[in-house]
Amino acid sequence: MDLLFDVAPAPGRRPPLRFEVTGGRMLMIRQGDEPVLLGRVDDGHYGVDYARTGRYRSPVPPLRAAHAAAVAVDGGATWWARWAHHFRSELSDSGSGPLHEGRWVLTSRVPRLRTRWQLCSADQGYVDYEGDWPVLPLRTPAGPSDGRVKAYRKQARDGSLPPVLLWWAS
């Protein structure tokens, strides 16, 4: 299931959360004027050396358990559609996300998902995207004893855990 939507032109405006690529195989993800991820494409291989800066702030505010439980009612395709509309609204209203002029899609399908996801939890390292497709969080993931993680476990048990919002870039 997909939610397609268009973002109107905003002349002279760059998206607040964006990729920037330079010569010498260097790339950066910025949020406003702040670099949040630095990378260098590995010459001759399929990977990137990366370093997170710790400056990323999510354009989607934290989800409260009561809101997640309300959206989880009924399940099925309508569950996904409600979450897609929620994320679209939050990304459109935030002013700090990746949306820019053009057509966007929120989908329940993950592009080119291999047998498993590779979660890159270190603040710096190497991502090999020749095998499994890596998921590179823009902030350091919370540890297993963090209160958020405990709350997510509870939501998973009671069937109200929200979906993961991934920004896929080819």
Residue 164 in any domain: the answer is no
Mean pLDDT value of segment 118-134: 78
Residue 163 in any domain: the answer is no
Gap between the Cα atoms of 123 and 134, Å rounded: 14
How many domains in the chain? 1
Determine the pLDDT at residue 35: 95
Residue 123 in any domain: the answer is yes
Gap between the Cα atoms of 69 and 81, Å rounded: 15
Residues in Cβ contact with 25 at an 8 Å cutoff, skipping those fewer than 6 apart: 40, 41, 42, 43
Indicate if the pLDDT at residue 113 is higher than 80. no
Residue 139 in any domain: the answer is yes
Phi/psi at 115 (5° precision): -70, -30
Note the pTM of the prediction, 2 decimals.
Answer: 0.84
Angle at 6 between CA 161 and CA 84, to 5 degrees: 10
Residue 165 in any domain: the answer is no
Residue 52 in any domain: the answer is yes
Residue 69 in any domain: the answer is yes
Residue 34 in any domain: the answer is yes
Range of the domain at 18: 2-158
Tens digits of residue pLDDT in 47-100: 889 999 999 999 999 888 888 888 877 666 688 888 999 999 999 998 889 999
